[in-house]
Structure 1
């Protein structure tokens, strides 16, 4: 149920209903007493509005004014998001860390990345074993038993959203620095985490002599 929206007129009526009855307690709009109470009622309206807003601002996913409080509680900000992260990036890190219940499964890391705003999959590796490896498989040695990879788009774009972004934030931001930094912190200490970024290739993409797509500074393929 949504919080009630109470206006100054509602508070005026509530105050007047608590007053005694009689000639010295008039309710008509032009009475001095009514005008005095009407001067007090907007304060109650503002307080109620702020209290209702607190119900929204207190949650990590919708916080704005309390964002610094959440960051301090969760060990943020940190170098992962760079020197000047957007409000959306800061909020995403707060949500990811607040919802982090710990784990080492692929599902855990996929969900943590999703809270950060990234869509990823997990690729597991292992050493090549006689009787199991097939022709064409990589000749991985024993250390590959501890290697795994996060597979993600080459450049995840975060667009500014009304009600989510703040004045001064860019209309769009991209990059995977936060993803790499956060997951490298969470990965099991005995493992080696790799990051594989996929590029969407179009029919009219420009490629080099080896068939590799040419990329722009923003991580997008060059197309004709």
Structure 2
């Protein structure tokens, strides 16, 4: 409910002591009323900031509290999703925990852990990204397949792309950043975007 404080202020002064219809009095009430109007507007914004979805210009404070860097190149809804993921990330190391975390922001994923003892190895080329002796450390490697990540695949197009760009680029910075931040520090997590 919007209140014009100018009229409220004018009604607070006793008419015996003040000329409530005087020009200077009304100008002063208008100036003070606008200050109170702005204060009321800011108070409403702070009240709405109790949830990230409705925080408006105060979303940057949510990001700061969650330890996120404000990235203005992202849309408002993407920034809200980043905050919600961080708030929901109370901790866990299990596959169901990470799967549920991804589902909470609209991603369908499948996590694959590798076992060299069962001759269960990653795809060729994926091992090259893992530093050290990969054969000895495969138990610390896991793959996240983003099932609904088709929108994040960008193909090289003649006329639209430039020399030096990859033929296929893919990735989703939102889910990848959170997984890399939340995964156990001694593990290597990489992402796959299967094409259906």
TM interval, shorter chain, is: 0.5 to 0.7
3-state SS, counterpart of residue 5 of structure 1: coil
2:178 match: 182
Checking the alignment, whether the CA contact within 8 Å between 2:114 and 2:139 is kept in structure 1 is yes
CA spacing shift, 1:35–1:106, aligned 2, 3 Å: same
Tell me, yes or no, if structure 1 residue 51 matches structure 2 residue 43.
yes
Please tell me whether residue 75 in structure 1 is matched to residue 67 in structure 2.
yes
Distance (whole Å) between structure 1 residues aligned to residue 27 and residue 56 of structure 2: 36
Cα drift, residue 48 of structure 1: 0.7
The Cα shift of 1:176 comes to 1.5
Contact 2:141 2:188 in 1 (8 A): yes
Summarize the alignment of residues 161-176 of structure 1 with structure 2, pairs less than 5 Å apart: 175-176=171-172
Q: Separation in 2 of the partners of 1:98 and 1:156?
A: 26
Instruction: Find the residue that maps to 1:43 and give its secondary structure.
Output: helix
The structural deviation recorded for 1:156 is 4.1
Distance 1:184 1:34, change over 3 A: closer
Distance in 1 (alpha carbons) for counterparts of 2:31 and 2:172: 53
Q: What is the TM-score with the length of structure 1 in the denominator?
A: 0.53
Q: C-alpha displacement at 1:145, in angstroms?
A: 5.9
Matched, 1:19 2:21: no
Find the partner of 1:5 among 2, 16, 34: 2
Q: Is the 8 A contact 1:12 1:37 kept in 2?
A: yes
8 Å Cα contact 1:149-1:193 kept in structure 2: yes
Q: 1:179 Cα shift?
A: 2.0
Deviation at 1:102, TM superposition (A): 0.8
Q: Could you tell me which runs of 5 or more consecutive residues in structure 2 were left unpaired when the two chains were aligned.
A: 122-135, 153-169
RMSD between aligned alpha carbons?
A: 3.7
Does structure 1 retain, via aligned residues, the 8 Å contact 2:45–2:55?
no
DSSP-derived class of the 1:178 partner: helix
Give structure 1 stretches of 5+ with no counterpart. 130-137, 158-173, 201-224
Deviation (angstroms), 1:147: 5.2
Contact 1:110 1:120 in 2 (8 A): yes
Q: Which residue of 1 aligns with 2:110?
A: 122
The counterpart of 2:32, out of the listed 40, 52, 72, is: 40
Q: Which has the higher helix share?
A: 2
Q: How does the TM-score come out when normalised to structure 2?
A: 0.59
Shift, 1:49, TM fit: 0.9
Q: How many residues align?
A: 162
Aligned mates of 1:16, 1:143 — CA distance in 2: 76
Matching residue within 82, 89, 113 for 1:100: 89
Equivalent position to 1:150, from 116, 138, 144: 144
How far 1:45 moved relative to its partner? 1.0
